[in-house]
Amino acid sequence: MNWRRFNGEALGESIIDEVKKTLIREQNNGNRLKVCIGTDSQVRGNITDFATVIVFLREKRGGFMFIKNDKSHQQFSIKERMLTEVTMSIQVAYELCELFDEFKIDMEVHADINTNPNFNSNLALKEAMGYIMSMGFIFKAKPDAFASSSCADKVV
């Protein structure tokens, strides 16, 4: 579970220490941040690849992200895979939420689940929304879940 930057550079410390350093640096540079966490997956043969991202959005100044890739040989139904993505995002959000509270950073958890019932991923919408919101996190689904559906999608 190694975290890296978008350019491929590995993060040298634990994710908590790296995020804390990032928050301090961004605050010292006068940037106001919002953080979005999301996970996407891709099935390739018998392997499911996952990518979890922590997206740091600078108010009116762009953004950047940290990325973690994982693989699983487990076979998932579509609903299981969507809920596994949500679980991975929640684990990261839970690990970092005290830090975000300390620095007064708004955080959202994004699920790569379609709100349109015509899409297969919609099967997991109610459970995912309940899971994320019961943890006290702000929930976003497609089309508003860019951390999972755009950012993580590009690096899975």
Give residue 1's pLDDT band: very low, low, confident or very high (50, 70, 90): low
Residue 38 belongs to domain spanning: 3-155
Q: How far apart are CA 142 and CA 15, in angstroms?
A: 27
Number of domains, the chain? 1
Tell me the per-residue pLDDT of 18-72, one tens digit each, with 9 for 90 and over: 999 999 999 999 999 999 999 999 999 999 999 999 999 999 999 999 999 999 9
Give me the CATH number covering residue 29.
Answer: 3.30.420
Helix 78-102 and helix 125-134: axis angle, to 10°?
20
Residue in the structure block whose two tokens are 């943890």: 135
Closest alpha carbon to 147 in 108, 103, 100? 108
Q: Whole-angstrom Cα distance, residue 146 to residue 140?
A: 9
Instruction: Give the global pTM.
Output: 0.94
State residue 99's pLDDT score: 97
Q: What span, in angstroms and rounded, lies between the C-alpha atoms of 43 and 147? A: 19
Closest CA to 40 of 68, 3, 5, 4: 68
